[in-house]
Every structure is written in structure tokens, then in C-alpha cells.
Structure 1
């Protein structure tokens, strides 16, 4: 088993690109840091860093090993913190990614409440409709709609049976009429969401065993979920949104849900983590908080 010091030397050298800088940050002599790195490489039987007199870079094996070492060191730090803070309030950094619409219009207010309950927590929030790479970007956890595609990630369900919902503003429906069945969407302006260059032009609805796929079109297309919601509020057409994104607007009467006898496409809502070791107490508390808030918002 490698010592914690050897692992720390490796990570800090990889981050700084300098063995001398890593040694200074750990209060070691350059010679001691070099011995620690060589000891780790000898135990593994491979080179982790390619070194010359002028430069240092990770080998392919080093790149693969670095992520695992980071997770292990973070887990150890989390365990030490849990012991030291037993019976005390939660603290530390939560680095969270979330979809833009949900993040700005729902999550932001909830995080204010979460911060008041846990004042020693520090928050870092990244809002983006493209899925953050949890292994590369500066986030630890991510809120995502839809069935997880990456089996290597850990999915903590927030709303397991969440669905999309078709909705429009009262003003739009007053001008153009209210469609009674999904097939009538072909006669209406729809507000489409685009992801990775592809427009979501097929909307799914289910009634019992009957599945209806409706091809939609219109003049409004965006890769930002919040823009689609704003267009719906402005009366430009019918949107097909995650229920959580528009539940507040529906409750306030700003949007009207359509096709009450039909169910929209399933879009489970999960809190994603790259590894079970990163499901810290902070993450567990946030997960329970979000589950309670979502249930309240959806009236469950």
C-alpha cells in the first residue's frame, strides 16, 4: 500500500508540473519528494511522470492513475473531517453543476435556504445545459434530467418518476385554441430545445399502453432551456419542458398544462457523482434537501 505522502507528492507534482513546487507545498526537500515519487513508481512498476531536465508531464498510465488517487485522497480528507466535526455543523465546498433553467429559476432560491441551514458550507455553482464532465471539470456533483447514460457514474434519485409536460401561456391558447390530443400539435407553433446541435422535434406521450410520437416544428429553437421557457411565457407557442422547470409557472397560472390524460416522456431527475467515495455527508444532506423541495414543488 502506498503512503499518503507518496500519493500527495504525485498529485501535487502533476498539478504544478514541478517536483520542486510540490516539495515546497508539502514542506519537503526536493530530494525527499523525488524519493517519494520514485517509491510510488517502483511499487506500481510503471512510470507515472516522464521527466527531463527541463520538463515533466504525465504518462498515459499517470493520467489514468491520477483520477483514482484524487478520489482516494478526497475520501480520506472527508473521513478526517467527519471525525473532527462529529456533532458540529457541516462545512466544506460543494461544487455543483445544474441545468440552466432549473438552476436559475428554482435551484438558486433553494440554495439560499440550504446555505442558511448550513452556513459553513461553501457553494460553487455551474449552470450549463450540456452535461458537465465530472471527471474533468471543477464540479463534484451534477443535477441531470433523463436516464443516466454513463454507467460509471453514481446516480442518486431526486425525482425518480419525473416527466416532461406540454404547456403554453393562457394568452397563446386564447389566440390559437387549446389542443385536445397530442396529434393536434402539428397545427400549432412549438418551442423546441436543441442539444448538441440536434433539435428535439419528436415529442412522446403515453396513454396506458398507447405511445404517441408527434413530429413538431415551429419558428423558435434554442439550446438554452431557460430561453424556451421564456418564449412560452411570452406566448410564442407550446413548450415541452421538464415538469420541475415549469411547476411554479403552472401553479401561478402563467402556463397551462396540456393533455391531462396523457403522460409526457420520462425524465428522471438525479444527482450524479463520479464515485461512491465522493458521496460525502455534504452530498447526502443536499440530496435529502433536494428530494424534499422537489416533492413539495410537485405537490407529492
Structure 2
């Protein structure tokens, strides 16, 4: 069993969707004060992006949408990691701008340790899945764990909605 962002493309993997996951561009106020605030995704290459790397692929192209128009922006970066928590810590330390899931940084967003940037532009959302190696692995205990995960993630998402960081449509 594992938690995974995005649905599996492997037909041999079985999964139960936990929730939709909003994503945010964020940085500390100190970073913004020092380097300025990007007002459009096209401003991001002038900033230091903090990016995630998975299987030797650096995720330095961020996909945005606004009013039905899509933007793909390649960010400039001097730090990449295959550890999403390290990217979060770099962001909280004021090292640059990160694209992060609302589930990865809820406390930082809710307690204003980081600021959501570009609120008029939505990052392409993702989904959180609870995956299994076989259908037989989806036991009643695993289903109870799924239900607990759905409840916990819904609580986090409701907090983000109450703070005005995300629209309630994320719950659909």
C-alpha cells in the first residue's frame, strides 16, 4: 500500500481515490520583500524556483490556467530534490518560490509562514490515491484506512477553503 499523487498509468496497480489536491505557488514574505512578487506566471523565470525531481526528471515546467487559457512556464532554479519535504523546508527558509500541494504545506499556508502567490492563476491540480499491488490487497482494514485518510484530508481542505486559499469546488 502507498499514497501517490496522480492516478496510476500501470494497469497492474489498483487504487482508491482519496481526494482532489489543489496546488499553490508560494514563498515567504521575506523572499518577496527581497526579490519582489511575481504578478504573472511569465515573471517566474526571473525568480529562484524550488523544484521537485522524480526519476531524473526535474519538474521545472509549471502549468497554469486562467479564464480558459493555459500557460506552461519553465522556472529558473538552483535547487532540485526528490524529497518533497526538503523542497517545502527550502521554501519556508526563504530560499525561493515553490509549487506545492495544499496537503504538503497546510500549516505553513494557514499560519502565514508562506504566502500564496499568483492567486488569479491556478496550477494544474492533482489527485491523491491510495494504491495497492492487487485487488486482494484492498481489505476491509485498508478501506477503513482509506476512510480515515479521506476524513483527514477533507479537514485540511476545509481549513484551506475557510482561509480563502482554495475554492470549495476542490471537494467535488
Pick closer, same or farther for the CA change 1:200–1:291 going to 2, 3 Å.
same
Contact 1:165 1:241 in 2 (8 A): yes
Q: SS where residue 50 of structure 2 aligns?
A: strand
2:50 to 191, 200, 221: 191
* CA distance, structure 2, for counterparts of residue 259 and residue 284 of structure 1: 37
Detail structure 1 runs of 4+ shifted over 3 Å in the superposition: none
**Counterpart position of 1:252:** 111
Unaligned runs of 5+ in 2: 159-170
* CA distance, structure 2, for counterparts of residue 262 and residue 292 of structure 1: 28
For residues 121-180 of structure 1, the C-alpha deviation after alignment (integer angstroms, 9 at most, x for no partner) is xxxxxxxxxxxxxxxxxxxx1100013121221110111x21321111111111112111
Cα distance, 1:207 vs structure 2: 1.4
How many residue pairs are counted as aligned between the two chains?
Answer: 159
Q: SS where residue 63 of structure 2 aligns?
A: strand
As a proportion of its length, which structure holds more helix?
A: 1
Q: SS where residue 268 of structure 1 aligns?
A: strand
Q: SS where residue 261 of structure 1 aligns?
A: coil
Cα distance, 1:276 vs structure 2: 2.0
Q: SS where residue 206 of structure 1 aligns?
A: strand
**Counterpart position of 2:5:** 145
Pairing 1:274–2:133 present = yes
**Counterpart position of 1:171:** 30
Pairing 1:297–2:156 present = yes
Contact 1:192 1:217 in 2 (8 A): no
**Counterpart position of 1:154:** 14
For residues 37-74 of structure 1, the C-alpha deviation after alignment (integer angstroms, 9 at most, x for no partner) is xxxxxxxxxxxxxxxxxxxxxxxxxxxxxxxxxxxxxx
* CA distance, structure 1, for counterparts of residue 125 and residue 110 of structure 2: 21
**Counterpart position of 1:181:** 40
Pairing 1:206–2:99 present = no
Q: How big is the alpha-carbon RMSD for the aligned residues of Structure 1 and Structure 2?
A: 1.3
For residues 76-127 of structure 1, the C-alpha deviation after alignment (integer angstroms, 9 at most, x for no partner) is xxxxxxxxxxxxxxxxxxxxxxxxxxxxxxxxxxxxxxxxxxxxxxxxxxxx
RCO greater where, 1 or 2, for CA within 8 Å and sep 6 or more? 2
* CA distance, structure 2, for counterparts of residue 261 and residue 255 of structure 1: 17
Alignment of 1:1-300 (within 5 A): 141-159=1-19, 161-299=20-158
Query: Please, what TM-score do these two structures have when normalized by structure 2?
Result: 0.87
Cα distance, 1:186 vs structure 2: 1.2
